Amino acid sequence: MTRTGDTDLTAQSTSEARAEAAITAGVQGLLFEDDLRPMPEDVGFRGPTACAAAGITYRQLDYWARTGLVSPSVRPATGSGTQRLYGFRDVLLLKVIKRLLDAGISLQQIRTAIAHLSKRGIDDLTQITLMSDGASVYMCTSPDEVIDLLAGGQGVFGIALGGVWREVEGSLSELPTERADGHGEGDGESHASDELAARRRARMTG
C-alpha cells in the first residue's frame, strides 16, 4: 500500500462508520478484476474527444497540460495548428483526476497521486484501487490492503482503476481516433475505436 499524501489522518471512531465505508466500497466494486488490454501507443484522441470521455472542460485539459499534470503522450503540441493527441492512459488519468476533484480532494494531493500512478506500468494500473479519507490518497494493490484501510477507518471512498478503465473504454468506443502520423480512423489505418467497441460488445454479451 502506498500513501500518496502528507496530511495526518483522523481515524473514524465508530464501528458503524467503518461498516458504512465497507458497504460503500462493495457497491463501488473496489476489488476489480477483468481482462483489460491497452490500445496501440501510436493511436490517440484530440483534446475535445479526451474532454468528452473524461467529463472535463477544455480549459481544465489545457491547464493540466501546461502545468504538467497530464500531458498528451501520443503527440504534444509543437506549434500553431498542431493538434495534441492524448493516449488511452492519458484519458484514464484525466478521468481519475475528475473523480478525485468531485470527491473534494485537493489538487495538490491529486498531483502527488497522479505522479505515483504515472510511474506504474500500464498493466499495473488495472490492479490499483485508490482510497482516500478526504485528506490523503492511498494506492492499494490487493484486497487485503483495501480491507486494512477500511478496518482502520481510513477509507471513506475508493476508485478502482480497472472500473474507470472500462468506463473510459466504453466512452471512447464511440469517438474518433487519430494516429500520431496524422491519419484518422476514416482512412483505414486506425481502427482503435472499432476495437474498443468490439471489446465493449463482448463484455455485454458475455
Residue 108 lies in a domain: yes
**Residue 67 within any structural domain of the chain:** yes
Find where cell 490487493 sits. Answer: 142
Work out the number of other CB atoms within 10 angstroms of the CB of residue 27: 8
Which bin fits 68, alpha (ψ -120 to 50), beta or left (φ > 0)?
left
Q: What confidence score (pLDDT) does residue 155 get?
A: 58
124 occurs within a structural domain = yes
Q: Does the pLDDT of residue 60 top 90, yes or no?
A: yes
User: CA nearest 142: which of 1, 2, 44?
Assistant: 1
Going by C-alpha positions, the residue among 204, 8, 40 that lies closest to residue 109 is 8
Q: Quote the pLDDT of residue 122.
A: 64
pLDDT digits 0-9 by tens, 119-165: 877 667 878 888 887 778 888 888 888 888 778 766 567 888 888 98
Range of the domain at 52: 38-180
Report yes or no: 164 and 96 within 8 Å, Cβ to Cβ: yes
**Low-confidence winner among 3-7, 14-18, 36-40 (lowest mean pLDDT):** 14-18
Q: Please work out, in degrees rounded to the nearest 5, the angle formed at the alpha carbon of residue 68 by the alpha carbons of 67 and 72.
A: 120
pTM of the model: 0.70
More confident residue, 24 or 114: 114
d(CA 105, CA 99): 9
The candidate with the shortest Cα–Cα distance to 165, out of 130, 196, 126, is 126
- Is the pLDDT at 6 greater than 70, yes or no? no
Phi-psi region of 168 (alpha: psi -120 to 50; beta: other; left: phi over 0): alpha
Q: Are strands 178-179 and 43-46 parallel, antiparallel or unpaired?
A: antiparallel
Domain presence at residue 206:
no
Round to whole Å and give the CA distance between 8 and 136.
8
Residues with Cβ within 8 Å of 203's Cβ and at least 6 positions away in sequence, in order, are 166
pLDDT digit string, tens, across residues 77-127: 776 566 889 999 999 999 999 999 998 889 998 999 998 888 877 667 878
Residue 43 is assigned to a structural domain of this protein? yes
Cell triple for residue 133?
Answer: 479519507
Q: Is the distance from CB of 40 to CB of 172 less than 8 angstroms?
A: no
Domain count, the chain: 1
Classify 183 as helix, strand or coil: coil
Domain membership of residue 20 (yes or no) is no
pLDDT over 70, % of the chain: 64
The answer to the question of residue 129 being in a domain is: yes
CATH number of the domain encompassing residue 105: 1.10.1660.10
Q: 64-85: per-residue pLDDT in tens?
A: 999 999 999 999 877 656 688 9
